[in-house]
Amino acid sequence: MPPLRAAAWSLCLLIASGIVVCVALAFVRSTALTAVTVTALDAAQEPRDHALPLVRQTEALPDYEIVLRGRRLFEHRSLGVKPDRSAVDGLRWEAAPPVALAEVVAVDLRERDAILSDTLATAQPTVAAVQDGNYRFEFETGRSWEAGVESFFDTPIGKALTAGIMLAIVALVLLPFLGPL
């Protein structure tokens, strides 16, 4: 077999194996957070916007917000605010699109205010329910191909594999210019 043909086959094998490794590692990272449910264990300990009797009691209920903290320093994602609601019966936030579980460092429950929001509880996403202070967190997870691919290709090994595959493709395209195969 001529050396250039052997090099072409080697590059094709390298590209195919790189793609298989990328797909496998993206699948490993595809477990994603799809929803968070927070329940207040004691209604008396929930924060209130004001304590005036008979004055706008529905507006006195807290404005809850869930914030996902990511691996990077200022990487935060809010799942939204549930204004003027009690969490005694449980409040549920959907993560759309789902976020790879490997990317979430912590989940913060905040009481949203106009001036300064207070963090009431923090939990790390797990399979089992987590309790912090007066709040219980329940996490729903599922497989998300998009979240796994995005998470994998954001890692150093994902970037290195992408660069290697691209270099192999460029070498394969330039190979015929070196001589007949």
Percent of the chain with pLDDT over 90: 54
- Angle at CA of residue 166, ends 24 and 75, nearest 5°: 65
Lowest mean pLDDT among 44-53, 147-156, 165-174: 44-53
For residue 79, what pLDDT is reported?
92
Q: Does the pLDDT value for residue 56 go beyond 60?
A: no
* Per-residue pLDDT tens over the stretch 135-167: 999 999 999 999 999 999 999 999 999 999 999
Burial 29-40 (b: 16+ CB within 10 A, else e): bbbbbbbbbbbb
Top pLDDT among 116 and 112 is at 112
For residue 109, what pLDDT is reported?
93
Question: Mean pLDDT throughout 52-79?
Answer: 77
Percent of the chain with pLDDT over 70: 90
Lowest mean pLDDT among 2-16, 43-57, 99-113, 152-166: 43-57
Is the C-alpha dihedral spanning 128, 77, 82, 55 positive or negative? positive
User: Would you give the DSSP letter of residue 50?
Assistant: -
